[in-house]
Amino acid sequence: MPSFQNIVLIAAMASSALASPLMARDSCNVAPAATGSQTPLSQPSVTTAELCKEACEANASCKSFVFGLPANAAAPTCQLYAVPAAQVPTMGTNLHVWDVACASAQVPTTAPTTANPQGQVSTGSTTGQGSSTGQGQTGTGQQTGSNTQNGQNGGQKAAKRDVCGSAPTGPSTSAAPTPLKTDTSIANQADCLALCKKTTGCQS
């Protein structure tokens, strides 16, 4: 009959084996370094790492994505992979890889340049764009800072929820809005979103 100490040891080993996969961290904005070869699921034509991540999120098979502006290239490269970032093989310079689970704050939002081949993560403050100074409240429940008219208007807008993937339900009394741009060559939602993001004035 196994002793109490042996049972405890076996249980600890089993627990450690179960926990080890959970300790693996996501790879975010690093040069791919695996050996072997992996074929990309697709190579969307997008302009930022953020849009590349969105294309990956829209593909149920995508687990990681590569993005960057290769040397002497006119346009950035976006590749979607069905394997984690740690299994994406080494490739050309200026290309980095992210696991799809990487936080949005770790994914560059600006277009890449020669100096920043992956683009840059947006760190700008939203002050002056509708947010009130001193966001949130102090522990006493009193709001810090002063609200400007713009801040109040922005706060009201921020309170509204985004509408995603539903039929339009605008007021029937208003005139139908004219599209800013129509492109019949767009074949999927990710590319349509990418077009909206690079079109000045596009909100939906």
What's the CA gap between 60 and 170, in Å, rounded?
A: 31
pLDDT of residue 2: 54
Q: Quick check: is 90 in a domain?
A: yes
Q: Quick check: is 85 in a domain?
A: yes
Q: Quick check: is 41 in a domain?
A: yes
Q: Quick check: is 162 in a domain?
A: no
Which regions of the chain are under pLDDT 70? 1-24, 123-177
> Residue 69 is part of a domain; what is its CATH number?
3.50.4.10
In angstroms, what CA-CA distances link 109 with 6, 138, 178? Answer: 53, 31, 28
What's the CA gap between 194 and 114, in Å, rounded?
A: 22
Q: Quick check: is 84 in a domain?
A: yes
3-class DSSP string for 81-113: ECCCHHHCECCCCCCEEEECCCCHHHCCCCCCC
pLDDT of residue 123: 67
pLDDT of residue 25: 77
Phi, psi of 77 (to 5 degrees): -110, 135
What's the CA gap between 91 and 123, in Å, rounded?
A: 29
Pairing status of strand 96-99 against strand 64-68: antiparallel
